[in-house]
Copies of this chain bind each other. A is one copy, B any other.
Amino acid sequence: MEQRLSIVSLGVADLAASRRFYEQGLGWKVSGASNDSIVFMDLGGVILGLYGRDALADDMKLPHGKAGGFGGFSLAHNVRAKEEVDRVLEDAAKAGARILKPAEEVFWGGYSGYFADPDGHPWEVAWNPFFPLRDDGRVELPPQ
């Protein structure tokens, strides 16, 4: 598994309010890849995502609310090719990670699964054909 963090996703209760805070309040630029259910900002090569808190829990098959160790966020490690997703998840499992969700085709057109680190912190391993990786591994996020 390459040493890379691609996305930090924060689960939020009210996406419009959260977007307002970051975009108008802090003055941060939002990517044109954002829509009514997700917001992306490029924080210098690593992406900050805002996503409905329940939707984020659903995505990793965790219960809603504070149960199940869900801390309201996830980290993502994006890979260059679809086949890499399964390999990275297998490697993580061999390293002692718990698989939260085996890789599957996802509604947004990619392929992804999740593992949890020893404290339950969730890592998504994702192939996203719409977010190419640069040579240095950082995600090329569409501009504003």
Interfacial residues, chain A to chain B (CB-CB below 8 A): 1, 3-5, 8, 10-14, 17-18, 21-22, 24-29, 41-46, 48, 53, 66, 70-73, 75, 91-92, 94-97, 117-121, 136-138
Within the complex, the shortest CB–CB distance from A127 to chain B, in Å, comes to 18
Task: Check if A72 sits within 8 Å of B119, measured CB to CB.
Answer: yes
Which residues on the B side are within 8 Å of A120 (C-beta)? 72
Task: Check if A117 sits within 8 Å of B44, measured CB to CB.
Answer: no
Task: Check if A17 sits within 8 Å of B71, measured CB to CB.
Answer: no
List the number of copies, as a whole number.
Answer: 2
Contact of A119 among B13, B24, B66 (CB under 8 A): B13
15 extra A-B contacts, CB within 8 A, seeds A18-B117, A21-B95, A25-B92: A3-B28, A4-B43, A5-B46, A10-B117, A10-B119, A14-B118, A22-B117, A25-B94, A25-B97, A26-B92, A43-B46, A44-B138, A66-B66, A71-B72, A71-B73
